[in-house]
Amino acid sequence: MINSLFLINPSGEIFLEKHWKSVVSRSVCDYFLEAKEKALEPEDVPPVIHTPHHYLISIYRDKLFFLSVIQTEVPPLFVIEFLHRVAEMIQDYFGECSETVVKDHMVMVYELLEEMLDNGFPLATESNVLKEMIRPPTILRSVVNTLTGTSNVGDTLLTGQLSTIPWRRAGVRYTNNEAYFDVVEEIDAILDQSGRSSTDLSTGTTVQRSWKSDPEVKGQASGVCVCVCVVCKLCYDWLTGTTVFAEIQGVVEACVKLSGMPDLTLSFMNPRLLDDVSFHPCVRYKLWESERVLSFIPPDGNFTLMTYHVNAQNLVAIPVYVKQSISFFECGSDGRLDVTVGPKQTMGKTVEGVMVTVHLPKTILSINLTATQGSYTYDNGTKLLVWDIGKLNPQKLPNLRGSLSLQAGAPKPEENPSLNIDLKIQQLAISGLKVNRLDMFGEKYKPFKGVKYITKAGKFQVRT
């Protein structure tokens, strides 16, 4: 299946290669590098590239390209998913996934890759199993290793014991038995300005009528007129925006450090909220289907227990509103920006970590803004304006305003940039999901249990 893997840094240097079948020359990457040159952003590189003899499937993650070489038919998602698994594994082992980390632990990464695939087919991809074969580095161990000259390859390997559960290693022992669950919800939303309907294509008939009445002259004029008006209207529209699309995506992250073979059952107060779910393989599907409880023997350590999507029928509470106006004057190379953020439906919690990110048009020359709260940074190279507000104070709404100057002679930007909002609410799952209880069977000790809720903004965009 997967023939070879190359790790490539953003500048195009291949710094690790691994072959599972016959060696494929690294010159095959040239096709990829060519495509990479063409793409404006690294994300724009096509994930699947067809070359005369090979297929290249790549992912871009943590500023690294993972490029796999395929020779025969294989489900592309299979490869993509595996590559992501590799990245996760590196992250899991070394804390982060970056070029330096991989270079520092070259041998270990290589060994991991050796274990993960056999002849191009995944062999061991569960972190728990891998960790039994190749022990992750710790500071203490690396010190010991340098002193004693041993390495991290597991020496327990030869016990001949294989865990019967592929995701859990055998013989786990902890002095403190703990199980923590983080329910993290993200709001994906697209907010829009209301009062935009006059430009709708769907209502174009009105325009057409006025047009037909006076076909020769006014038709054209009215068409233009409408557009101009709309721009004006938008400029001064202080409405808080309508929701085009909003949904809640959640994930239950678990950190389970329990001895032995615990069998956990996690139930929710209101499982009906969950519309669509996906599970870690340890969860018993059918039990969820019939009883809406998560019954599982957990892997050891950190893992994602489930991800879910909240029923779309439920209206999504949008915790903040954004009043904004970005306008450019038709004549003169000047524009104004005015953004206010305020709390909307926060369920009595404070909104923290509010951040507004704006990709300003390329024609902007400079900006001069003042923020009543927080601070803003502006990178003139990428035209990226980031306004870090922090905690939202309902009494005194944070505001950012000032002037934008355009390059001389540049035309007024076509589209106003959209705002990306970042926020965080502690101790709240915005969907109202609540964990009811966690029961443990199969072990005698009493575990310490904890649940934490966090709401975040996912892809939260305000169109202007």
Partner 1 sequence: MTPMQKLLQLPVNAMNMVKTAQDQMGQQDEAKSPVMTPDGGNHNWYNGEPNDPRHIRFGSGGGDQEERAHLEEGGGSLSSLVTQPLRHDDLKEMLDSNKDSLKLEAMKRIVAMIARGKNASDLFPAVVKNVACKNIEVKKLVYVYLVRYAEEQQDLALLSISTFQRGLKDPNQLIRASALRVLSSIRVTIIVPIMMLAIKEAASDMSPYVRKTAAHAIPKLYSLDPEQKDCLIEVIEKLLADKTTLVAGSVVMAFEEVCPERIDLIHKNYRKLCNLLIDVEEWGQVVIINMLTRYARTQFLNPNMNESLLEEGGGEKAFYGSDNDDDTDDEEDKEEKEKKKTEATAIVKRKPYVMDPDHRLLLRNTKPLLQSRNAAVVMAVAQLYFHLAPKAEVGVIAKALVRLMRSHSEVQYVVLQNVATMSIKRRGMFEPYLKSFYIRSTDPTQIKVLKLEVLTNLANETNISTILREFQTYIKSNDKDFVAATIQAIGRCATNIGEVRDTCLNGLVQLLSNRDELVVAESVVVIKKLLQMQPEQHSDIIKHMAKLTDNIQVPMARASILWLIGEYCEHVPKIAPDVLRKMAKTFTNEEDIVKLQIINLAAKLYLTNSKQTKLLTQYVLNLAKYDQNYDIRDRARFIRQLIVPTDKSGALSKYAKKLFLALKPAPVLESPFKDRDHFQLGSLSHLLNAKAGGYQVLPDWPEAAPDPSVRNVEVITLLERVTTLTSVPEWTKCSSREKRKEKKADKPFYSDSEGESGPTESADSASDTASGSESGSGSEESGSGSESEESNEESESASEEDEEEEGKKKKKNVEKIKARKPVPESESEPSSGEDVKKSEKKSKPRIGSSESESEEDDDSESESSESEEEESEEESEEETKKKKKTTASKPPSKPPKKENKKEKKEMSLLDFDDFDPAPSPSQVTPLNNFLSSSLVTDLEGLSLTDNVLSPTTIIPSGNLKTYELLHRITGEGLSVEYCFSRQPFSPDPHMVAVKIQFTNSATSEAKSLHVEDAKLQSGMRIKEFPEIEVLPAGETISVVMGIDFCDSTQAANFQLCTHTRKFFVSIQPPVGELMMPIFMTENEFKKEQGQLMGMNEITEKLTLEEKCQGEHAVVQRVTTAANLSRVPCGSDKECRFAGKTVTSGSLVLVSVVTKEDGAAQLTVNCEKMVIGTMLVKDIHQALTQ
87-116 residues near partner 1, rule: CB under 8 A: 106-107, 109-111, 114
Q: Rounded to an integer, what distance in angstroms lies between the CA atom of residue 173 and that of residue 298?
A: 14
Q: At closest approach, how far in Å is the CB of 396 from partner 1?
A: 30
Helix 106-116 to helix 76-94 angle (10° resolution) is: 140
Q: Is 327 in the site for partner 1 (CB under 8 A)?
A: no
Q: At closest approach, how far in Å is the CB of 182 from partner 1?
A: 16
Q: Determine which residue in the list 46, 136, 342, 374 makes contact with partner 1, applying CB under 8 A.
A: 46
Q: Which residues pair with 156 in a beta bridge?
A: none
Q: At closest approach, how far in Å is the CB of 86 from partner 1?
A: 13
The dihedrals phi and psi of 233, each to the nearest 5 degrees, come to -60, -45
Q: How are the residues of the chain apportioned to helix, strand and coil, as percentages rounded to the nearest 5?
A: 25, 40, 35
Q: What torsion, rounded to 10 degrees, do the Cα atoms 85, 87, 89, 94 define? A: -170
Q: Rounded to an integer, what distance in angstroms lies between the CA atom of residue 4 and that of residue 56?
A: 10
Q: Is 232 in the site for partner 1 (CB under 8 A)?
A: no
215-224, Cβ contacts within 8 angstroms, sequence gap of 24 or more: none
Q: Is 35 in the site for partner 1 (CB under 8 A)?
A: no
Q: Is 448 in the site for partner 1 (CB under 8 A)?
A: no
- Among the listed ranges 211-219, 384-392, 397-405, 425-433, the one in contact with partner 1 (CB under 8 A) is 211-219
Q: Rounded to an integer, what distance in angstroms lies between the CA atom of residue 4 and that of residue 79?
A: 11
CA atoms within 13 A on the CB side of 244: 16
- Among the listed ranges 365-373, 390-398, 409-417, 428-436, the one in contact with partner 1 (CB under 8 A) is 409-417
Interacting residues with partner 1 between 159 and 188 (CB under 8 A): 160, 162-166, 168, 170, 188
The helices-and-strands tally (H runs, E runs) of the chain is 9, 23
Q: What torsion, rounded to 10 degrees, do the Cα atoms 238, 243, 244, 247 define? A: 150
Q: Is 229 in the site for partner 1 (CB under 8 A)?
A: no
- Among the listed ranges 321-329, 346-354, 394-402, 417-425, the one in contact with partner 1 (CB under 8 A) is 417-425
Task: Considering the complex, state which of residue 81 and residue 394 has its C-beta at the smaller distance from partner 1.
Answer: 81
Q: Determine which residue in the list 9, 91, 265, 393 makes contact with partner 1, applying CB under 8 A.
A: 265
Q: Determine which residue in the list 30, 81, 178, 379 makes contact with partner 1, applying CB under 8 A.
A: 81
- Among the listed ranges 217-225, 342-350, 370-378, 385-393, the one in contact with partner 1 (CB under 8 A) is 217-225
